[in-house]
């Protein structure tokens, strides 16, 4: 049965993409098709996961070509888990995007390319997870990158084109390095099948092995945003639409992490370059989180924490032990869910507060308690506060580091603890400023994007801005007559002012105050999708025991290597008799 199911996570989204293109003029049908397809992919992935856990890795030769020649899809515990998490996240994000689309009234717009592109992206991600040979992995990467280029520049506004250019050029470079590495690997071993490479690469001279390994690692580290190669990520992610950023942050870097795991366990076991990776992990954690602390824009802050937490996974991989690898895989699953939810919440914050800059936001906890809960829970999870899965993942990794005991590993453990604390600081800053303090009344020109949009609004409607700006002044003069003191007074004054602006906004439609500050009810579908994603991150805590057991078995399987290789060759490795 598994041989029928395994290609479906790639096939279904591709067929779905074709279907959604055909019905491009009927947004409702398009939505239904996408949701049905992704639900089917999720179901298939869960079945694959159960199958992989009970009966070990399975390989399927696509098109019936004999093994070293044809394309092989391999389902083992790692790839099945990644598929399940990826399709869950994709479904949640699609649901959010559907809600956003209908809330914005963009159903009738000719922009019908979101759904097909999104499905192609998922097909590429699934293909990368299932690929049993390097070239197919490359193709998977290219499919998902091509889709991501389109999604990132959706709408083609100036900031998105600028961000897209950085992203495209960096991705191109990493793809070319990967392709060149594939060429060199083929030249030196005569195969690109990963199971066959696992046996053949070890026979190469050491220098050659090192070259090939470092080329692959450089290519994957760019995609995974590991520190010296991570500068592109916080530059390009924040400008995209909220659901796009969410799915990118959740999935795309993790595909790179997945590829690093494969490289380090299957292709080049034995821990070459582990020390280097460990340093890279440490630098990624620390530099990423320092960047995050400096940001005032929530999305940029989240992008930097994304980079930072990749460091934990790299650290786990670099340890090379079962415990380290199990921790890293657990952390990947946790982080995909958590980062996606946080970016979705950031999308809701932007809707509710009119901005993602903590300097412009305020009072969200009172204005929208549900939103506050939706932000608080995953934020604490990200920071690694004990009951949550983030704590369990970090604890597992740190324990593995201590068990390793080398000075370098202990240094990284210390770095991991500091990073965790700084993460808490970064999210707490957002919490206190955006949620707890009373709302600020004047939009400040503190972010470039905001300044641009304000300028645009002013150019369109110069008069109402002054009107909106006057109302707080009035409220202030009222306050003077009746001296209220202290924080309570400040709060009530700010609230009064805020209410005034909000009501002024509703009576004078089209003012900037109305468009930015008014209390807009959040669309139920978007909140629902976000709530479900947050619930998923919380439920990861509930099933943490089972999940950790699973990742432990996956790590054993990866380090053992023989189950994978024997699954591909359908038995023991055939004797090498030349090319």
Does position 421 interact with other proteins (CB under 8 A)? The reply is no
Class of residue 208 by CB neighbours under 10 A (exposed 0-12, middle 13-18, buried 19+): middle
Query: Among residues 112, 107, 267, which one has the least CA distance to residue 202?
Result: 267
Between 184 and 208, CB nearer to other proteins: 184
Interface region with other proteins, contact rule CB under 8 A, candidates 165-173, 317-325, 370-378, 402-410: 165-173
- The whole-angstrom separation of Cα 471 and Cα 469 is 6
Q: Judging by DSSP bridges, how do beta strands 58-62 and 71-75 pair with one another?
A: antiparallel
Question: In the window 259-298, what residues touch other proteins (CB under 8 A)?
Answer: 294-297
- The whole-angstrom separation of Cα 26 and Cα 107 is 9
Contact pick of 46, 62, 103, 146 for other proteins (by CB under 8 A): 146
Does position 230 interact with other proteins (CB under 8 A)? The reply is no
Does position 453 interact with other proteins (CB under 8 A)? The reply is no
Interface region with other proteins, contact rule CB under 8 A, candidates 8-16, 183-191, 316-324, 459-467: 183-191
Does position 302 interact with other proteins (CB under 8 A)? The reply is no
Contact residues for 79 (Cβ-Cβ < 8 A; gap 6+): 52, 129, 130, 258
CA distances (Å), origin 579, targets 69, 182, 196, 346: 12, 17, 12, 54
Contact pick of 53, 350, 446, 454 for other proteins (by CB under 8 A): 446
Does position 362 interact with other proteins (CB under 8 A)? The reply is yes
Q: Nearest 10 degrees: CA dihedral of 470, 475, 480, 483?
A: -160
Interface region with other proteins, contact rule CB under 8 A, candidates 81-89, 145-153, 318-326, 532-540: 145-153
The strand pairing partners of 193, in sequence order, are 133
Judge whether 497 and 441 are in contact, CB under 8 Å.
yes
Query: Among residues 222, 261, 224, which one has the least CA distance to residue 76?
Result: 261
Does position 376 interact with other proteins (CB under 8 A)? The reply is no
Does position 448 interact with other proteins (CB under 8 A)? The reply is yes
Between 186 and 279, CB nearer to other proteins: 186
- The whole-angstrom separation of Cα 23 and Cα 8 is 21
- The whole-angstrom separation of Cα 34 and Cα 40 is 10
CA torsion sign for 129, 130, 133, 137 is negative
Does position 67 interact with other proteins (CB under 8 A)? The reply is no
- The whole-angstrom separation of Cα 120 and Cα 55 is 30
Question: Which of helix, strand or coil describes residue 320?
Answer: coil
Does position 22 interact with other proteins (CB under 8 A)? The reply is no
Does position 57 interact with other proteins (CB under 8 A)? The reply is no
Does position 238 interact with other proteins (CB under 8 A)? The reply is yes
Does position 441 interact with other proteins (CB under 8 A)? The reply is yes
Contact pick of 253, 419, 447, 500 for other proteins (by CB under 8 A): 447
Judge whether 260 and 221 are in contact, CB under 8 Å.
yes
Contact pick of 105, 480, 572, 578 for other proteins (by CB under 8 A): 480
Does position 300 interact with other proteins (CB under 8 A)? The reply is yes
Query: Among residues 379, 272, 258, 277, which one has the least CA distance to residue 318?
Result: 277
Min CB(560)–other proteins separation in Å: 29
- 252 secondary structure, DSSP code: I
Instruction: For residue 73, report the phi and psi dihedrals to the nearest 5 degrees.
Output: -110, 130
Between 102 and 166, CB nearer to other proteins: 166
Class of residue 69 by CB neighbours under 10 A (exposed 0-12, middle 13-18, buried 19+): exposed
Min CB(135)–other proteins separation in Å: 6
Question: In the window 119-138, what residues touch other proteins (CB under 8 A)?
Answer: 135
Question: In the window 508-547, what residues touch other proteins (CB under 8 A)?
Answer: none
Class of residue 499 by CB neighbours under 10 A (exposed 0-12, middle 13-18, buried 19+): middle
Question: In the window 483-502, what residues touch other proteins (CB under 8 A)?
Answer: 483, 485-487, 489-491, 493-494, 497
CA 474 to chain centre: 46
Does position 378 interact with other proteins (CB under 8 A)? The reply is no
Between 64 and 487, CB nearer to other proteins: 487
Between 379 and 409, CB nearer to other proteins: 379
Contact pick of 437, 520, 556, 561 for other proteins (by CB under 8 A): 437
Number of residues that bind other proteins (CB under 8 A): 72
Does position 504 interact with other proteins (CB under 8 A)? The reply is no
Does position 456 interact with other proteins (CB under 8 A)? The reply is no
The shares of helix, strand and coil residues in the chain, as percent rounded to the nearest 5, are: 80, 5, 20
Min CB(562)–other proteins separation in Å: 26
Question: In the window 78-107, what residues touch other proteins (CB under 8 A)?
Answer: none
Question: In the window 342-361, what residues touch other proteins (CB under 8 A)?
Answer: 359
Question: In the window 187-206, what residues touch other proteins (CB under 8 A)?
Answer: 187, 192
Min CB(431)–other proteins separation in Å: 9
Does position 303 interact with other proteins (CB under 8 A)? The reply is no
The strand pairing partners of 73, in sequence order, are 60, 131
Interface region with other proteins, contact rule CB under 8 A, candidates 28-36, 56-64, 155-163, 262-270: 155-163
Does position 475 interact with other proteins (CB under 8 A)? The reply is yes
Contact pick of 228, 456, 476, 549 for other proteins (by CB under 8 A): 476
H/E stretch holding 79: helix 77-103
């Amino acid at each position: 049965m598994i041989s029928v199911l395994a290609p479906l996570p790639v096939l279904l989204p591709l067929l779905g993409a074709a279907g959604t293109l055909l019905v491009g003029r009927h947004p409702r049908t398009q939505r239904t098709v996408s949701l049905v397809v992704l639900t089917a992919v999720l179901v298939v992935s869960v079945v694959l996961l159960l199958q992989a856990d009970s009966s070990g890795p399975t390989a399927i030769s696509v098109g019936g070509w004999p093994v070293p020649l044809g394309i092989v899809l391999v389902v083992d515990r790692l790839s099945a888990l990644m598929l399940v998490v990826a399709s869950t996240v994709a479904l949640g994000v699609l649901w959010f995007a559907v809600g956003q689309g209908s809330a914005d009234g963009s159903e009738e717009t000719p922009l019908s390319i979101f759904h097909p592109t999104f499905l192609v992206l998922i097909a590429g991600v699934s293909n990368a997870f299932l690929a049993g040979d390097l070239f197919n992995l490359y193709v998977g990467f290219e499919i998902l990158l091509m889709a991501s280029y389109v999604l990132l520049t959706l709408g083609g506004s100036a900031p998105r084109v600028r961000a897209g250019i950085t992203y495209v050029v960096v991705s191109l470079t990493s793809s070319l390095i990967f392709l060149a590495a594939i060429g060199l690997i083929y030249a030196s071993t005569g195969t690109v099948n990963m199971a066959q490479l696992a046996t053949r690469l070890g026979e190469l001279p050491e220098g050659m092995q090192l070259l090939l390994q470092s080329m692959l690692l450089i290519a994957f580290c760019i995609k995974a945003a590991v520190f010296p190669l991570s500068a592109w990520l916080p530059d390009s992610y924040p400008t995209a639409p909220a659901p796009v950023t969410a799915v990118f942050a959740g999935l795309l870097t993790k595909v790179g992490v997945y590829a690093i795991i494969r490289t380090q366990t299957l292709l080049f076991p034995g821990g070459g370059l582990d020390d280097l990776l460990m340093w890279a992990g440490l630098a990624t954690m620390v530099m990423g989180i320092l960047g995050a602390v400096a940001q005032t824009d929530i999305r940029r802050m989240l992008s930097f924490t994304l980079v930072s937490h990749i460091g934990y996974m790299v650290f786990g991989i670099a340890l090379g032990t079962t415990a380290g690898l199990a921790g890293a895989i657990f952390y990947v699953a946790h982080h995909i869910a958590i980062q996606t939810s946080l970016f979705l919440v950031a999308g809701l914050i932007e809707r509710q507060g009119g901005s993602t800059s903590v300097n412009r936001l305020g009072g969200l906890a009172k204005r929208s308690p549900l939103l506050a809960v939706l932000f608080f829970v995953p934020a604490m999870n990200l920071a690694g506060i004990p009951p949550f899965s983030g704590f369990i993942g970090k604890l597992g990794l740190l324990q593995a580091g201590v068990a390793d005991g080398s000075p370098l590993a202990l240094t990284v453990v210390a770095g991991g603890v500091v990073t965790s604390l700084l993460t808490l600081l970064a999210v707490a800053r957002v919490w206190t400023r955006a949620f707890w303090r009373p709302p600020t009344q004047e939009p400040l020109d503190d972010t470039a994007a905001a300044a641009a949009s304000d300028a645009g609004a002013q150019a369109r409607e110069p008069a109402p801005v002054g009107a909106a700006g006057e109302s707080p002044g009035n409220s202030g003069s009222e306050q003077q007559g009746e001296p209220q003191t202290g924080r309570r007074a400040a709060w009530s004054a700010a609230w009064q002012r805020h209410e005034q602006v909000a009501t002024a906004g509703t009576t004078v439609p089209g003012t900037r105050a109305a468009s930015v500050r008014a209390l807009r009810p959040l669309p139920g579908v978007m909140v629902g999708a976000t709530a479900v994603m947050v619930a998923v991150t919380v439920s990861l805590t509930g099933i943490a025991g089972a999940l950790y057991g699973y990742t432990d078995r996956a790590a054993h399987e990866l380090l053992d290597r023989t189950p994978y290789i024997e699954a591909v060759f359908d038995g023991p490795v055939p004797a090498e008799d030349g090319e």
